[in-house]
């Protein structure tokens, strides 16, 4: 394992090593992580409990929209002055939203919405939001292809563990089953419970779903093999000294979109990147340590992307909601 100088007085190397270990295998037993890190089981459990209780770290179950048949949208909602906070809070209460953030000096809201069918799309995008008082405009971007994100967490780029430890912790690959997955109400209850706590035990998940622990274990394995369910980390980036999150909206020549998106996904600052519909066709979330680092990133790595005609940046000034609660 490598060692680093602390980047935040509240966190140390062991915290970051634990985060990296959970990125590799989010449901790994604490005993497995403890052995790999060279500490006791109790130490790992205590560190995780502290990080989780303070909101610095949480393992969450995520849903692959493409595999489940849902569609992911990015919304940019312009509000009248002093109205964005109330609208953002209302959006955060919706079970289908994630990453509800205030940007652009607090006059714009950016959020992710998971929509399961065309009727829901029409209700939200054509009826509900435009008629919300003090909403002045809505721009919607449907995700066409994700270049980075979901199970690909930025922690993998920032990780502090050496290759031998990573190899020791890496679980065996899952056998993937081709074909669409059909979800029932029990699946939705299971996914909702895992979205709240991706490390919940089988007994707890059985209580949430009404299934037996054996059925929970089997169905969870099936959903993962169908590529519907994955596990991710909901993380306070100050653990890694990265306190500034910025949304990037880029216009790229269509012929260069795949190349630019793939290049963007390799940047160590990028936590998410996707091709989208809308007035811009490439979106990314960049996480930086400072305004100076953001400037350097924009003027070097982003400037070097192929065929980029326009870049708009929207620094996040407040995150109202980070993850979704339900499918």
Q: pLDDT for 281-323, tens place per residue? A: 999 999 999 999 999 999 999 999 989 999 999 999 999 988 7
Question: What CATH number corresponds to the domain at position 253?
Answer: 3.30.70.920
Question: Of 18-27, 79-88, 264-273, where does mean pLDDT reach its minimum?
Answer: 79-88
Question: What CATH number corresponds to the domain at position 161?
Answer: 1.10.10.10
167 and 50 share one domain: yes
293 touches 304 (CB < 8 A): no
d(CA 151, CA 82): 36
Domain end (from 173, 201, 224): 173
In a domain, 72, yes or no: no
Neighbours of 260 (CB within 10 A): 22
| Token couple for 247 | 């949304």
Please state the domain count of the chain.
Answer: 2
pLDDT per residue as tens digits for the range 39-88: 999 999 999 999 999 999 999 998 887 766 778 889 999 988 788 888 89
In a domain, 84, yes or no: no
275 and 162 share one domain: no
d(CA 304, CA 75): 27
21 and 167 share one domain: yes
Identify the pLDDT of residue 303. Answer: 96
Question: Of 12-16, 29-33, 138-142, 178-182, where does mean pLDDT reach its minimum?
Answer: 178-182
Identify the pLDDT of residue 57. Answer: 94
In a domain, 11, yes or no: yes
Residue 278: helix, strand or coil by DSSP?
coil
| Token couple for 125 | 């995008």
Identify the pLDDT of residue 193. Answer: 94
Above 80 in pLDDT, residue 279?
yes
Domain ranges, residue 159: 1-56+154-173
In a domain, 253, yes or no: yes
In a domain, 159, yes or no: yes
Give the alpha-carbon dihedral of 303, 304, 308, 311, to 10 degrees.
Answer: -20
Identify the pLDDT of residue 100. Answer: 93
Handedness of CA 246, 50, 17, 27 (dihedral sign): negative
């Amino acid at each position: 394992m490598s060692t680093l100088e602390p980047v935040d007085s509240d966190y140390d190397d062991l915290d970051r090593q634990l985060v990296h270990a959970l990125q590799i295998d989010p449901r790994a037993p604490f005993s497995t992580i403890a052995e790999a890190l060279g500490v006791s089981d109790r130490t790992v459990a205590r560190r995780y409990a502290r990080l989780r209780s303070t909101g610095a770290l949480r393992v969450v179950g995520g849903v692959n929209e493409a595999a489940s048949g849902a569609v992911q949208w990015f919304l940019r909602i312009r509000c009248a002055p002093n109205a964005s906070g109330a609208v953002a809070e209302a959006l955060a209460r919706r079970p289908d939203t994630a990453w509800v953030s205030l940007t652009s000096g607090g006059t714009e809201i950016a959020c992710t919405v998971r929509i399961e069918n065309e009727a829901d799309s029409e209700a939200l995008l054509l009826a509900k939001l435009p008629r919300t008082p003090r909403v002045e405009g809505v721009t919607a971007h449907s995700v066409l292809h994700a270049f980075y994100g979901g199970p690909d967490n930025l922690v993998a780029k920032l990780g502090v563990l050496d290759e031998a430890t990573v190899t020791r912790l890496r679980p065996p690959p899952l056998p993937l089953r081709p074909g669409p997955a059909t979800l029932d109400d029990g699946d939705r209850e299971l996914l909702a419970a895992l979205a709240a706590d991706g490390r919940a035990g089988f007994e707890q998940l059985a209580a949430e779903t009404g299934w037996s622990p054996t059925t929970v274990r089997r169905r969870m394995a099936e959903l993962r093999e169908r590529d519907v369910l994955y596990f991710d980390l909901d993380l306070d980036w100050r653990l890694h000294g990265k306190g500034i999150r910025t949304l990037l909206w880029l216009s790229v020549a269509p012929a260069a979109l795949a190349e630019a998106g793939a290049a963007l996904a390799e940047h160590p600052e990028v936590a998410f990147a996707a091709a989208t519909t809308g007035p811009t066709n490439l979106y990314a979330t960049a996480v930086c340590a400072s305004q100076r680092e953001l400037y350097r990133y924009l003027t070097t790595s982003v400037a070097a992307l192929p065929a980029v005609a326009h870049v708009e940046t929207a620094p996040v000034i407040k995150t109202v909601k980070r993850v979704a609660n339900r499918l």
